[in-house]
């Protein structure tokens, strides 16, 4: 029985290898190479471990790490949605929920339920853990774009107001990190790598 459980888990572990092929719009730091979802998720998990002390509220760090490690697994079926894509609203699409059910559904039943719940909690963004996980998810591309002379902001002509609108949610997870992020955004305008009309 335990062995059957293990075999299901191994099937899931093999399936999620596909996360390594999902390209994001953002590039690695000081680079022209696109980041993939596995690299992105690893980086967010490291950031969560390192920056946890700056959370506005007490957080269960293991849960935050789980959230950021799994948050893009649904993209195996649903694909990556660019955050500044105004045609496609990235709020828990039906396609993503179907993907969550199929992919986490490979796991043994209890574990499947647990991971779907963690993913739903991240997407809802209401708990202290989900807020902090989203803070990480918004901070990484900000660091990347500022290191890449504007990165996706320049490439897709995204201006200050759109960036500010998407990034201000960082404040919900950490006022301290938002203070830093806001400075970075303002500096980017001053440097001419982010357009403000």
Give the footprint of its own copies on this chain (CB under 8 A). Answer: 2-3, 5-7, 9-10, 12-14, 16-17, 19-21, 28-29, 35-36, 38-39, 41-43, 45-47, 49-51, 53-54, 61-62, 65-66, 69-70, 107, 111, 143, 147, 176-177, 179-180
Residue whose CB is less far from its own copies, 12 or 153: 12
Two tokens at 66? 């789980």
Q: How far is CA 133 from the centre of its chain?
A: 8
CA 114 centroid distance within chain? 19
Minimum CB separation of residue 10 from its own copies in Å reads: 7
Helices (H), the chain: 2-15, 37-51, 61-70, 75-78, 94-104, 109-124, 128-147, 151-155, 160-167, 170-173, 175-191
**Residue whose CB is less far from its own copies, 106 or 162:** 106
Distances (CA, A) of 194 to 117, 154, 162, 163: 37, 7, 11, 9
Pick between residue 176 and residue 193 the one whose CB is nearest to its own copies.
176
Minimum CB distance to its own copies smaller for 9 or for 92: 9
Shortest Å, Cβ 156 to its own copies: 22
Tokens 């997407």 correspond to what residue? Answer: 123
Closest CA to 173 of 45, 59, 47: 59
Q: How far is the CB of 33 from its own copies (least distance, A)?
A: 8
- Cβ 30 to its own copies, closest distance in Å? 8
């Amino acid at each position: 029985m335990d062995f059957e459980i293990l075999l299901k888990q191994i099937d899931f572990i093999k399936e999620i290898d596909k996360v390594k092929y999902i390209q994001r719009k953002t590039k690695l730091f000081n680079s022209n190479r696109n980041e993939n979802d596995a690299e992105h998720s690893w980086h967010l998990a490291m950031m969560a471990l390192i920056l946890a002390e700056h959370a506005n509220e007490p957080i269960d760090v293991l849960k935050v790490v789980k959230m950021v490690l799994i948050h893009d697994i649904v993209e195996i079926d649903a694909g990556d949605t660019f955050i500044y894509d105004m045609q496609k609203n990235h709020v828990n699409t039906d396609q993503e929920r179907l993907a969550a059910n199929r992919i986490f559904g490979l796991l043994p039943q209890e574990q499947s339920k647990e991971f779907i719940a963690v993913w739903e909690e991240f997407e809802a963004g209401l708990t202290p853990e989900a807020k902090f996980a989203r803070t990480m998810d918004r901070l990484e591309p900000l660091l990347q774009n500022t290191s890449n002379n504007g990165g996706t902001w320049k490439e897709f002509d995204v201006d200050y107001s759109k960036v500010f609108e998407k990034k201000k949610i960082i404040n919900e997870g950490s006022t301290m990190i938002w203070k830093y992020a806001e400075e970075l955004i303002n500096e980017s305008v001053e440097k001419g790598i982010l357009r403000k009309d």
